[in-house]
Structure 1
Amino acid sequence: MAIHRGKFPYVDADLLLAYVGMETDLIFNRGIDLPGFASYPLLETAKGRDILEGYLADLIALGKKTGTGVILESPTWVANRDRGAAIGYAPDALKQLNQQAVAMMVKVRTAYGDVPTVISANLGPRDDAYSPEAQMSADEAERYHSEQIAALVDTEVDVMSGYTLAYPAEAIGIVRAARRFTIPVVISFTVETDGKLPTGTSLEEAIVEVDAATEGYAAYFMINCAHPEHFNSVLEEKPWMQRVKGIVANASRCSHAELDEAEELDDGNPTDLAQQLVDIRRRYPHIQVLGGCCGTDMRHMGMIAKAAREAP
């Protein structure tokens, strides 16, 4: 297998913080309606841009306070053709918003230039992440996701990050598309309470399949949108685990189905979540990225950074 040619040049930091829990925080804690779970429409107003910039600035400030690097994730998780169309956005508008998102991130990074910062273009699945009804082939996924990636490579983005993916073929398509555009890429799978992808594939099978189909082009793999208790038992000292370098966890122990039905936010226990993530990193010290997904806010991120820094 080839070396990981898609590896982006790491910033000078042994730990990178990543935060993708903004949407649940906006909906449940700030009372902001997000049709289609899309945050990129906030880019269309001055107030919305201020809100988005606030999250980015808060994460960088946390990085500065705790001596960690940060990965800024763009608000473009569902800014692809099908999911955009479902809430009234045409491809041309989506292209502009994808590019505006990165421009906003560059602006914030420039304003806080003393913190090691990576700009990541966040790509989400074409269908429901937790129960995809129509799974694409790898070729279909490459064609589909190439549209969003093509818009983003014309910006100052550092890496493409495919988040909350539920099956290997879609991940393969994203990696192939990124490789064709010669941009680094990260793949993050989500898992159910049994530690397997929503489609029943194990993490090991998914990672091995993606690497085999793409000559190991992905910079690394991550796990997101699941509580550590959902996947801790399937992590093991095998070669595939060396490819997992990031965990961006949910605050709640609930299943995806339970979270979808929830009328109130389950923000879990920030201290407990941080300790569980640090315990995993202690077992697997090659893990470099830690962060929060659904149900988390800056309280959780602060505890994660603090616990990681204080860990022996």
Structure 2
Amino acid sequence: MTQLPQLDAALFLTDGGAETTLIFDDGIDLPDFAAFPLLDDPDGHAALTRYFERYASIAERDGAGVVLETATWRASRDWGERLGYDARRLESANRKAVDLLLDVRQRFAIPVVISGCVGPRGDAYRPDTTMTREQARDYHSAQIRTFADTPADLVTAMTLTNVPEATGIVDAARDAGVPVVISFTVETDGRLPSGDTLGDAIEAVDRDTDGYPLYYMVNCAHPTHIAPGLDPGAAWAPRLRGIRANASRMSHAELDEAEVLDRGDPEELADDYRELRRTFPQLTVLGGCCGTDHRHVDAVSRAFSG
């Protein structure tokens, strides 16, 4: 298995909430919350470049590394079809997303890990159907094969709600010979939307894939929602390495109905991360998700780098 730099680092940053930043700060319309169409537009491409450079600059200032996720959370078959993208255009978009981050990486003298971002097939806040493991493997294979044929360092599946989809994604990554990270999302009680505990989900995926994932993460939930699912003494604890939290304490259902972005407070979020790491020191890959921007990641970086 590939040894990536974040596996041995005391602190590795990620970027924040790309889609909410682009919508609410840059004033860019993102139908279906999809950022990948911006790659076909010069102004959109420039906005994405500025977005990622902010996070690399923070990491460089504080002597940390950074994992940057391609703007492809929605760049899979079903979502692509809704936006008028056939298989050929989707493949091109995924490749362009990696190329953009390659351009960013060459401008910074720190470890910049490029991750091909894979999102759930359905709505991460309102999962209506659950695929079988085999269906998930088939659905996600095209996007993952594309990433495997680029210089991307790994694939990260974000905001997953259930075990079968996660397991199928791992199968597709193993078929393509690419390292993979699995990131679940949780509700306010620390459980996945499927009802599984975080620990049970991690153990199930590891058991069914012979421990193929590099590590696991949680994203798109506030630290106070993540905390109930953590058990520092559990056998699965060392497998959970990263957190990309929301700025807001609202539930997924409340966020889905909200008309105004809840940005929370960057310093308060950094304090919440401190509390998580106090009881769960395995967490070394830290960044943001919905509602967060470079100010939140800056506060988190300062909290742990100095």
| Aligned residue number for residue 263 of structure 2 | 267
One-letter amino acid of the counterpart of residue 36, structure 1: D
Give yes or no for contact 1:8–1:184 (8 Å, CA) kept in 2. Answer: no
Q: Which runs of 5+ in 2 are unaligned?
A: none
Under a length normalisation based on structure 2, what TM-score does the superposition of the two structures give?
A: 0.97
Residue 62 of structure 1: how far off its partner (Å): 0.4
2:37 pairs, out of 13, 29, 41, with: 41
Q: CA deviation at 1:122?
A: 0.5
In the alignment, structure 1 segments of 5+ residues that lack a partner are none
Aligned-partner Cα distance in 1 for 2:30–2:161:
22
Cα distance in 1 for partners of 2:252, 2:195 equals 14
Alignment of 1:104 onto 2:95: no
How far residue 283 of structure 1 moved from its aligned partner, in angstroms, is 2.2
Task: Kindly indicate whether residue 191 of structure 2 is the aligned counterpart of residue 181 of structure 1.
Answer: no
CA contact (8 A) 1:28 1:264 kept: no
What does residue 89 of structure 2 align with? 93
Moved more, 21-30 or 36-45: 21-30
> Take 1:231 and 1:16, find their aligned partners in 2: how far apart are those partners?
19
Describe the superposition over 1:149-178 as per-residue Cα deviations: whole angstroms up to 9, x where unpaired: 111111100010000000000000111111
- 8 Å CA contact retained: 1:123, 1:162: yes
Read off the aligned partner of 1:168 and give its amino acid letter. V
Correspondence for 2:225 among 221, 230, 233: 230
Could you tell me whether the CA contact under 8 Å between 1:73 and 1:119 is conserved in 2? yes
Instruction: Give 1:193 deviation, angstroms.
Output: 0.7
Matched-pair contact (CA < 8 Å) for 1:221–1:245: yes
Alignment of 1:1-312 (within 5 A): 5=1, 8-10=3-5, 13-112=9-108, 114-236=109-231, 237-310=233-306
Q: Would the aligned equivalents of 2:16 and 2:297 in 1 still touch at CA under 8 Å? A: no
Corresponding letter in the other structure for 2:283: I
| 8 Å contact from structure 1 (residues 291, 304) kept in 2 | yes
- Equivalent pair of 2:33/2:74 in contact (CA under 8 Å): yes
SS of the residue corresponding to residue 106 of structure 2 reads: helix
Preserved contact between residue 216 and residue 241 of structure 2 (Cα < 8 Å): yes
Give 1:279 deviation, angstroms: 2.0
TM normalised by structure 1 equals: 0.95
Alpha carbons 1:165, 1:189 under 8 Å: kept: yes
Q: Give per-residue Cα distances to partners, 1:19-72, cap 9 Å, x unaligned.
A: 240101111222211001000111111111111011111111101111111001
1:271 and 1:61 mapped to 2: Cα distance? 19
Q: When the two structures are aligned, how many residues end up with a matched partner?
A: 304
1:233, distance to aligned residue in structure 2 (A): 2.2
Measure, in 1, the Cα distance between the counterparts of 2:234 and 2:21. Answer: 36
1:128 match: secondary structure:
coil
* % same residue: 47
Output the CA distance in 1 between the equivalents of 2:203 and 2:34: 31
